[in-house]
Amino acid sequence: MKYDTLRDFGGSTSVNAKHYEIDYTRGILYVDGIVLAPGIRVLQVAYTGGMGATTDAFRTAYPDLAEAVDMQIAFWWESRSRLGQQSVTGPDGSITLQAPLSHLPALAEAIKTHRRKIW
């Protein structure tokens, strides 16, 4: 975060991270330890988001999501020859596919858990 009443936002206008906190779930910026003069566009807040810089970092941070994605990919791979079909008959019997291209319940739940909150 940068604070500059002149709106130049040079390097010396950076605010130490110990003086502010951002509540992303509610969209609130809490400032403590510095006095902010009122003004229009005197704060510059940048957010760099992402879930992981590497695959290993992603798997470490979100093991449930990584496992659910693996299961989904395996499901689609196994279903690759019958995508779009509503029923499949094989030597062991037949099955009916309710939604052949939908997400598996495990992936849907993992996505719901990590969905970005909109305020």
> Would the pTM of this model clear 0.85, i.e. be above it?
no
For the chain, which residues make up each domain, given as ranges?
A: 2-44, 63-114
| pLDDT of 98 strictly over 70 | no
Can you give the pLDDT at residue 23? 81
Reduced to 3 states, what is the DSSP secondary structure of residue 84? coil
pLDDT tier at 118 (50, 70, 90 boundaries)? Answer: low
For residue 42, what are the contacts with CB-CB under 8 A and spacing of at least 6? 3, 4, 5, 7, 36
- What would the pLDDT profile of 59-83 be if each residue is shown by its tens digit? 998 999 999 999 999 988 887 776 6
